[in-house]
Amino acid sequence: EDQVTQSPEALRLQEGESSSLNCSYTVSGLRGLFWYRQDPGKGPEFLFTLYSAGEEKEKERLKATLTKKESFLHITAPKPEDSATYLCAVQAWGFSGGYNKLIFGAGTRLAVHP
């Protein structure tokens, strides 16, 4: 069964303290791995798509990397405005055929304190 596990569940950082979030997955054929950011009471906001092992994407203080079994979201010198829940998802094969849905992990709640 396709599954996504994120760790840690929650992470508290001081402003400027770099760290990494982990997303491990088991899926029958990875089509794509996605990272989203979600603020309280809002819908997920798209960050990155990764398709193959070794691929890396960067955006401001965030860098996402992908291996055959997991993905990391590295946060460099975070600021308080980076506080949010970060969700990882894999694109999974649907019963009707085709990669029609995302399977999400439970997310990592990040709090960055000044």
Closest CB to other proteins among residues 79, 109: 109
Q: Which of residues 2-21 bind other proteins (CB under 8 A)?
A: 4
CB of 9 to other proteins, least distance (A): 9
CB of 88 to other proteins, least distance (A): 8
Main-chain dihedrals φ then ψ at residue 80, nearest 5 degrees: -55, -35
Closest CB to other proteins among residues 14, 46: 46
CB of 89 to other proteins, least distance (A): 7
Question: Which residue type, as a one-letter code, is found at position 42?
Answer: K
Map the chain to HEC letters: CCEEEEECCEEEEECCCCEEEEEEEECCCCCCEEEEEECCCCCCEEEEEECCCCCEEEECCEEEEECCCEEEEEECCCCHHHCEEEEEEEEEECCCCCEEEEEECCCEEEEEEC
Binding mask 20-59 for other proteins (x = CB under 8 A): --------------x-x----xxxxxx--x----------
* Per-residue tokens: 56: 């890396």
Q: Is position 112 an interface residue for other proteins (rule: CB under 8 A)?
A: no
The contact set with other proteins (CB under 8 A) reads 4, 34, 36, 41-46, 49, 87, 89, 94-96, 98-107
